[in-house]
A and B are shown apart, each in its own frame.
Chain A
Amino acid sequence: MVLLSIVAGLWIATKRIDYTWRWERIPQYFAYHSEDVKTINFDGHVTKIDKKGDLTTVTVKNDIGGETSSFVIDTKTANVSVDEYLMEGDTVGSTREWKAGPLAHGLWVTLWISAVASVIGLVIGVVTGLCRVSQNLTLRQLSITYIEIIRGTPLLVQLFIFYFFLGTVLNIGRLPSGIGALGIFAGAYVAEIIRAGIQSIPKGQMEAARSLGMNVPKAMVYIILPQAFKRTLPPLAGQFISLIKDSSLVSVIAITDLTKSGREVITSTFAVFEIWFVVAFLYLILTFTLSQVVAWVERRLAVSD
């Protein structure tokens, strides 16, 4: 009811500003039919036409050299016949296929950038989280410094530093700098989540593991971390959902992710409202899928409760 009235209100508001919605133009930016026209680059005769269902193979023999070339085309577009003389630049036929549009491509880029950055963030986070609770003062202070620096500066600024400074100094491209910045950013937050998770496990667990003769690494890997991981799954999921959303910032260093694709499509369509709604919806699909997967894992792990 509330939702309905909000939607109605928005609809009236947009009517007033006289905006023409053109939703029908959106799908072609996901996927489109592209036509690939096959032309020949010599003068010759058609020697053979081999029809096989939807596809046809046309063989053309070069009049001068004598060598032959074959073209695979859609049967419907075949407009030559055997022995027909073709001049350089003539069309033999064409094939049509589905190509991913900019929005689909952007979605894919966002997806894999987020995935790679999540893995990096998780690895950094677990290592830093372990350093954070270690007995070693140097490790502890190093990890605290890292966490404070990352959490105390805006991601946008970190991205610029990564891209302009580290990217130039270490000579790495924009994709690695973008992914690296995201991963290191997420790592700091994951580290704090992991630390809290480890510290929430009763001391008796470590003591029991050690009294069985396990050393600290073994106790961590088999006893403490699995339990901590289970407890920290909800906050970790939240962190990775944030990461997907934050990944939209990489568009400022010219990585063609979903957000940047959206902007590019807008410059050619002027369908500003539609595209941003669609982009928002696509992010929502990604984050919702992730939270569903996590909820499923949580249910699986809950058997021991």
Chain B
Amino acid sequence: MIKTVDLEKIFVVRDQVVRAVDGITTHITPGEVVVVIGPSGSGKSTYLRCLNGLETLTAGHVHIDGVDLANRKTDMNKVRREVGMVFQQFNLFPHKTVLENLVLAQMKVRKRSRKEAEIKGRALLEKVGIPEKEANYPSQLSGGQQQRVAIARALAMDPKVMLFDEPTSALDPEMVGEVLEVMKQLAREGMTMVVVTHEMGFAREVADRVLFMDYGKLVEEGTPEHFFTEPKEERAKLFLRQVL
């Protein structure tokens, strides 16, 4: 489903070279839930953003369903329809109602009729548990509700993969649960997911595989049982001691 080969992303800011992602090779299979963890600044967000082409690759390849994002001829917009993304800051469209947020891209990108798009949008709002908010504007919703709308908005495009970049980090603690619940349900339904998170509980419970990143490198990878109980690498042990 997603294959990254020697993926590299280097930022150069005023002669400062930051190797944000430094040679990552993995293979994510359909239906798999992969959780990416690591210290702050280790390149998790950058890695995720490379997977849907929000960052241009410095070197290496990302194959999504066999399509190579490093190939200049690849139509990024086509790829991005198949890859949903949920951001830490929700990034809902503040000038549109909740339902419009879900409908817009369906109509403009997937070329669905308004009726079809609204039916789909309402069904998804039902699914994430806030059907009654469809006529509200994002600013009138709580953080947890906004993030659930953002998830619904991504799902409305019928993506094959969902990327989550710290979806609960900007939320008040009492709202984290409702968002994680939606994500767990998605995982149970067999959605392929790549999740950057600091929620170790979620990683333990839902992940099929954990990737541990540090300084842009993939330091350790394995099942949650393996990673949380007997990590091999010193840096992973150190990190776990700090967060657990």
Contacts and interface: CB of A to CB of B under 8 A. Distances in A.
Contacts, number: 71
B30 to A, nearest CB: 20
A222 B106 CA distance: 13
A230 interface: yes
A207 B109 contact: no
A212 B157 CA distance: 7
Contact of A211 (B85, B97, B104): B85
A213 to B, nearest CB: 4
B56 to A, nearest CB: 12
Contact of B87 (A208, A213, A218, A230): A208
Given A222-B104, A304-B137, A210 B91 contact: no
Contacts of B104: 222
A168 interface: no
Given A205-B91, A213-B110, 6 more contacts: A205-B93, A207-B91, A211-B52, A212-B109, A214-B77, A304-B137
Contact of B80 (A202, A211, A230, A303): A211
B93 A213 contact: no
Contacts of A208: 85, 87, 91-93, 150
A55 interface: no
Given A215-B77, A218-B108, A303-B137, A210 B54 contact: yes
A305 interface: yes
Interface string B77-101: 1101101110101011111110000
B80 A212 contact: yes
B105 interface: yes
Contacts of A214: 77, 105, 108-109
9 contacts: A208-B85, A210-B77, A213-B78, A213-B110, A214-B108, A218-B108, A222-B108, A304-B97, A304-B139
A235 interface: no
Contacts of B93: 205, 208-209, 223, 227
A233 to B, nearest CB: 12
B3 interface: no
B137 to A, nearest CB: 4
A204 interface: yes
Nearest to B163: A211
Contacts of A209: 93, 105
Interface string A177-212: 000000000000000000000000010110111111
Interface residues of A, number: 22
Interface string A261-305: 000000000000000000000000000000000000000010111
A224 to B, nearest CB: 10
Contacts of A173: none
Nearest to B104: A222
A226 interface: yes
B217 interface: no
B20 interface: no
B219 to A, nearest CB: 27
A213 B157 contact: yes
A213 B85 CA distance: 11
Q: Which of B92, B93, B97, B138 has the most CB of A within 10 A?
A: B93
A121 B104 CA distance: 29
Given A204-B91, A223-B93, A304-B94, A211 B84 contact: yes
A213 B91 contact: no
A213 B77 contact: yes
A201 to B, nearest CB: 10
B153 A212 contact: yes
Interface in B145-160: 150, 153-154, 157
A227 B138 CA distance: 14
